[in-house]
Each structure stands twice: as structure tokens, then as C-alpha cells.
Amino acid sequence: MLAYELHNEPDFAALTRVERPSPPLSPHDVRVRVRAVSLNYRDLNIARSMQRRPKGRPVVPASDGAGEVVEIGSAVSRLATGDRVAALFFPDWHDGELTAVYHTRALGGTCDGMLAEEVVLDERAWVRLPAHLSYEEGATLPCAGVTAWNALFESAGVGPGSTVLVQGTGGVSIFALQLAKAAGAQVVVTSKSDAKRARARQMGADHVIDYVATPKWGDDARAWTGGRGVDVVVEVGGPGTFDQSVAALRHAGTMSLLGVLTGLSGEVNTYGLFQKGLHVCGIYVGSGRMFEALNRALSTNTIHPVIDRVFGFDQVRAAYEHLASGTHFGKVVIRVS
């Protein structure tokens, strides 16, 4: 089968198409013909940084993919051939809280990922796709969709009448916009692009802020709520946006912290956190149970993930470059087969 591997080259030139043998199948394993893969910001970092890859062997990149079950092991009871499935970002995290051991197997990072024609994983590492989604749409769920779910409904309790602020219009933020609107919440979106703000409006955003024109966008968001503050911020920026998120939040509100767009560390206002009695929840994707809850939410509300552009399996570097350009709105997808 064909697959991409990250080889010892600078930047996206590391992405190398190779022929690999079909992986073997143990009794509890399920073999999936991958149909589509979607990219995340994390995939850019791993492609660019050799430190973040396993040592001594090339790794197949990309955590997020969907496909069709083509073979099942002798002990498999939960899936059948023909099932349409996506893989868990952490194949071993089925339920409960994050533990250190799950990090030892993360698709496209500490173990081989989805950018391949075939992937074999334990039956519990797969979840069925919602029936109304295509493979391209399903491929966007494992990281961005599950992260947005976790940020809104596991780490916080977003519901009707809640107010949620999302930063920008990347994959997680757009999922969060869609899910929060489906939950009956109000949503504030920040973006420096007129066109993206307009599109966010069309998707239901109740208030949009140009964060370049309004550097104190946190104060603006709080003022828009009548001074009370927003209930939840989906914090994808990290240290560079942290303090305005603190400013935006109501007392006892929740910052769902999941991104590094502005860096791994930086100066932040820790006093504000306790003066307001805030909760900061670090979010690293989520469990299989959360993925299934996300799928029920998407099905019940007929939500379609927003796909920015679909690339072919021979356009992988172009897909990475497009995501790196930051011009996208929603998800960047690669059709595999």
C-alpha cells in the first residue's frame, strides 16, 4: 500500500510517499481502507520539528482520517466489513480522564498516523461515522471535532443561553461555533479578516470582533454581554491571547485551553485567574466516549463540518502549505482513495 512518511528533510519536504507492506491483523484488530485525511496545526509542527517525531524510524503523519472497514480480526465483535469509521487520536483513550500512558500512542506523533491507504488498529480505536457525513467530512472529526466537543461540553457545561467566545476561524473554532449554536448558546468570534467575520456571522455568530482593530477584544466581548462576561472561551492562541480571554470571561467562567498558536509559554495574568475565580481546563483532544457523544450531536442536529478545500493524495505538500498559510476557513482535507 502507499503511505506518506516523514523523512529526514527540512520542513514539508520531509513528507515522502512510500510503498509499505500491508500491516498484519491480530484477533482484535480492524483493517481500514483510508478514504480521507484532514490536517491539524499539530501536523505542521510535527512535520517541521524533528524533535517531535519518534526517533530512529520514519512515522506516518496525520492523526485524523476516515475510511471503510475492509477486514476484521477473528475476535472482533463491534465492527463489520463495510462499516464507515474514523480513528481515535489516542487509540487507547476510551473513557475517563487523560493519563500519561495515552500519550505514548498518539496517531501521527508517537505512533503511525492516517496518511496511508490502509491502517490497522484495535477495534476499540475506531468509531462509526454519522450517516449523514461523507468520508471527507468524517476525516475532520478525530482531533478538531473532538477537541471542540471536549472544550464546550466536558470541560464546561455549555447550554442554552450560555455565551462562548471562539478565537479565529480554524478547525476547532468553527466546530465550536457550530456546536455551541446547536446547544442554544450565543457565540462571539474574533477574526482580523472581514470576509471571515462575515462568514462567521452567516454561520450564526452573534457578535464578531476584529482583534487587530480592537486589541482589547476581551473587554469588547465582556461589554457585549452587558458587563457580565462570557461563560467559556475556547483558547486556541495560548499565551498571546490569554490575558484578553481572562478579560472576556465572567467570574467563575471557564477557559478551555488547547492551543499554542502564539507559543508554548509566555507572560500571563495569573492574578486575574484567581481574582475572578476562573477555571482553566487544559484540553488535549478527548476520549472515545467523547467522540461518540460528538457524533450523536452532529447527527441529531445534521451538522456538516466546514471543509475549506480538498487536496488529492499526490498534493500532500500543497495541502500542508495551504494550512500553513492561515488563509483557510474550516478544515483542510486530503482525499486518499
Residues 14-53, mask of contacts with a second copy (x by CB under 8 A): ------------xx--------------------------
Determine the longest span between alpha carbons in the chain, in angstroms: 61
Q: How far apart are the first and last CA of the chain?
A: 11
**Contact partners, residue 328, CB within 8 Å, separation at least 6:** 170, 308, 309, 322
Q: Which of 16, 203, 284, 318 binds a second copy (CB under 8 A)?
A: 284
Member of 223, 251, 314, 326 binding a second copy (CB under 8 A): 251
* 3-class secondary-structure state, position 200: helix
Q: Is 182 in the site for a second copy (CB under 8 A)?
A: yes
Nearer to a second copy, 1 or 98 (CB): 98
Give the residue with the Cβ less far from a second copy, 260 or 310. 260
CB count in 10 Å sphere of residue 108:
27
Interface pick for a second copy out of 41, 126, 135, 153 (rule CB under 8 A): 153
Enter the C-alpha cell of residue 261: 498558536
Stretch binding a second copy (CB under 8 A), from 2-10, 169-177, 253-261, 312-320: 253-261
Alpha carbon distance 217, 244 (integer Å): 7
- CA of 155: how far to CAs of 4, 48, 232, 302, in Å? 35, 31, 10, 24
d(CA 3, CA 235): 33
Nearer of residues 298 and 324 to a second copy, judged by Cβ? 298
Which listed range, 31-39, 138-146, 291-299, 310-318, lies at the site for a second copy (CB under 8 A)? 291-299
Closest approach of a second copy to the CB of residue 256, in Å: 9
Query: Do 38 and 137 contact (CB within 8 A), yes or no?
Result: no
Out of 266, 304, 312, 326, the residue judged to bind a second copy by CB under 8 A: 266
Residue closer to a second copy (CB basis): 58 or 170:
170
Q: Which stretch binds a second copy (CB under 8 A): 12-20, 112-120, 196-204, 235-243?
A: 235-243
Give the Cβ contact number of residue 81 at 10 Å: 12
- Binder among 54, 161, 215, 326 for a second copy (CB under 8 A): 161
Three-class SS of residue 166? strand
Residue of 175, 233, 295, 324 that binds a second copy (CB under 8 A): 295
Instruction: State the angle between helix axes of 217-224 and 239-248 in degrees (0 to 180), rounded to the nearest 10.
Output: 20
Q: Which stretch binds a second copy (CB under 8 A): 8-16, 30-38, 192-200, 293-301?
A: 293-301
* Least distance CB 259 / a second copy (angstroms): 8
Q: Which is nearer to a second copy, 48 or 279 (CB)?
A: 279
> How many other C-beta atoms lie within 10 A of the C-beta of residue 75?
10
* Strand stretches in 175-259, DSSP E: 186-190, 207-209, 230-235, 249-257
Grid coordinates of 199: 462568514
Residues contributing to the site for a second copy (CB under 8 A)? 26-27, 94-100, 103, 153, 157-162, 179, 182-186, 228-229, 238-239, 242-243, 250-252, 257-260, 263-284, 287, 289, 293-301
